[in-house]
Amino acid sequence: MGERLKLIIWICVSLLAFLDFGEASKIGICYGRNADNLPSPNKVSELIQHLNIKFVRIYDANIDVLKAFANTGIELMIGVPNADLLAFAQFQSNVDTWLRNSILPYYPTTKITSISVGLEVTEAPDNATGLLLPAMRNIHTALKKSGLDKKIKISSSHSLAILSRSFPPSSASFSKKHLAFLKPMLEFLVENESPFMIDLYPYYAYRDSAEKVQLEYALFESSSQVVDPATGLLYSNMFDAQLDAIYFALTAMNFKTVKVMVTESGWPSKGSPKETAATPDNALAYNTNLIRHVIGDPGTPAKPGEEIDVYLFSLFNENRKPGIESERNWGMFYANGTSVYALDFTGESAAPVSPSNSSTGTTSPGPSSSPGNNGNSTVIIGGGGGGGARKWCIASSQLQRRNCRVHWTGLAVPEC
């Protein structure tokens, strides 16, 4: 082999050693159950598999839910409710018992990959921030005893209100009143290679400052850009601006290398009379454009090419949630299984989605007849549980959408 060829090979190998290809960004779904008459966990698992969603966030360690996702390959993020933080923080034995009874019997058949401890604790009425890190440490100790500390990541999801300032992104900083628990928590995340979890909602920023924020900017539909005067970075959507605010706030605390995961983001389909932007069309536009933005792997202006993992909020409307009307209407599906709007979770639909041309539907499904001869295929949903199986026709790629109704999986279903 010539010396020149050897040199070229050596250079290529050296470059490959320093390149970080990373993983593709991921889209998941939040599966909350604060509602009446939801489908059974088994039915929900079937739905999520049918939608080809591989990542699911749940808010506790409900046994029926864990069983429903066994042998599916779907990765679960499970939650520890705020109400459990005191018991988890006080005694290691409480956590050991929880792990032994609620996790170990179902792992690894059910693919639990992360635990989110507490839910936006800085916004909780009882302010459980002092309990958070002790609870996280006790969970880590319990996992380590079982040899799972390297397989199941531990973190905690936070509201954007954890920042004292979020715009311009480069000036973002965490609220001083939260620094006492934040710094040691971030050190814990670094030590265990866990992500910082944040819930991002451009909807709230638009709703509360509609006179300053354009709806198109919040929906990924803006034709203009917002400039960060300190960095010159250009922002075409609010999601990126909010996410970069987190990156800059972490950098200001010398935690630049901590990965950020967006554990909730979405848009409500209905709200109070003053919440005029809470519509099915806007919800469809936001979620569709968010999916496309994430799977395109552009990163953000401050971190181009950075992997962004996002969990859409939420799978179902949850009628038992307190608060104003929009709080109960973040779902892609109603509790009875009908779709609020037909969301393409692949982001591969060719047509641009904006409030003016989005397609929504709430048609209740009914059993279809036998497959026709128009290239459609059939899938069985259900079976067992006394209800029998339902047969659904799935449209071929050649079928025009206007000839379809909306099935409860959110897919366009032809009348075949």
pLDDT of res. 1 = 52
Do 221 and 85 share a structural domain?
yes
pLDDT of res. 170 = 96
75 is catalytic: no
Mean pLDDT of 155-171: 95
Mean pLDDT of 364-369: 29
120 is catalytic: yes
User: Which one is catalytic: 264, 275, 306, 327?
Assistant: 264
Domain presence at residue 79: yes
Greatest Cα pair distance, the chain, in angstroms, is 76
Phi, psi of 296 (to 5 degrees): -75, -10
pLDDT band at 399; cut points 50, 70, 90? very low
Residue 370 has pLDDT above 50, yes or no: no
pTM of the model: 0.81
Residue 55 has pLDDT above 80, yes or no: yes
Do 267 and 128 share a structural domain?
yes
Q: In 3D, which of 68, 50, 51, 150 has the Cα closest to residue 109?
A: 68
Return the minimum-mean-pLDDT range out of 120-134, 180-194, 247-261: 120-134
More confident residue, 19 or 226: 226
Domain presence at residue 222: yes
Do 382 and 317 share a structural domain?
no
pLDDT of res. 64 = 97
pLDDT of res. 389 = 35
Do 185 and 128 share a structural domain?
yes
Q: What CA–CA distances, in Å, run from 340 to 9, 161, 269, 302?
A: 55, 29, 8, 35
Do 211 and 86 share a structural domain?
yes
**Angle, vertex CA 307, rays to CA 32 and CA 194, nearest 5:** 65
pLDDT band at 348; cut points 50, 70, 90? confident
Phi, psi of 164 (to 5 degrees): -85, -20
Do 301 and 188 share a structural domain?
yes
pLDDT band at 142; cut points 50, 70, 90? very high
383 alpha carbon, distance to own chain's centre? 29
More confident residue, 375 or 82: 82
Domain boundary among 270, 298, 328: 328
pLDDT of res. 108 = 96
Domain presence at residue 365: no
Mean pLDDT of 123-151: 94
Judge contact between 360 and 344, C-beta under 8 A: no
Judge contact between 222 and 214, C-beta under 8 A: yes
Do 388 and 253 share a structural domain?
no
Residue 104 has pLDDT above 80, yes or no: yes
Do 381 and 317 share a structural domain?
no
Do 391 and 296 share a structural domain?
no
Residue that the structure tokens 């709430």 belong to: 362
Give the containing element (helix H, strand E) for 222.
none
| 330 token code pair | 């973040």
Domain presence at residue 199: yes
More confident residue, 297 or 413: 297
User: Which one is catalytic: 46, 120, 221, 318?
Assistant: 120
Do 190 and 74 share a structural domain?
yes
Domain boundary among 328, 343, 368: 328
SS (HEC) of 322-391: CCCHHHHCCCCECCCCCECECCCCCCCCCCCCCCCCCCECCCCCCCCCCCCCCCCEEEEEECCCCCCEEE
| 134 token code pair | 């002790």
Instruction: Work out how many domains the chain is built from and give that number.
Output: 2
Judge contact between 244 and 302, C-beta under 8 A: yes
Alpha helices in 192-279 (DSSP H): 202-208, 215-218, 238-252
Judge contact between 155 and 189, C-beta under 8 A: yes
What is the extent of the structural domain holding 310? 23-328
- Average pLDDT score over the chain: 82
pLDDT of res. 2 = 58
Domain boundary among 328, 345, 366: 328
Mean pLDDT of 351-375: 41
| 313 token code pair | 């909020």
Residue 210 has pLDDT above 80, yes or no: yes
Mean pLDDT of 335-357: 74
Residue 162 has pLDDT above 70, yes or no: yes
Residue 381 has pLDDT above 50, yes or no: no
CATH number of the structural domain spanning residue 302: 3.20.20.80
Do 401 and 281 share a structural domain?
no
Mean pLDDT of 111-137: 93
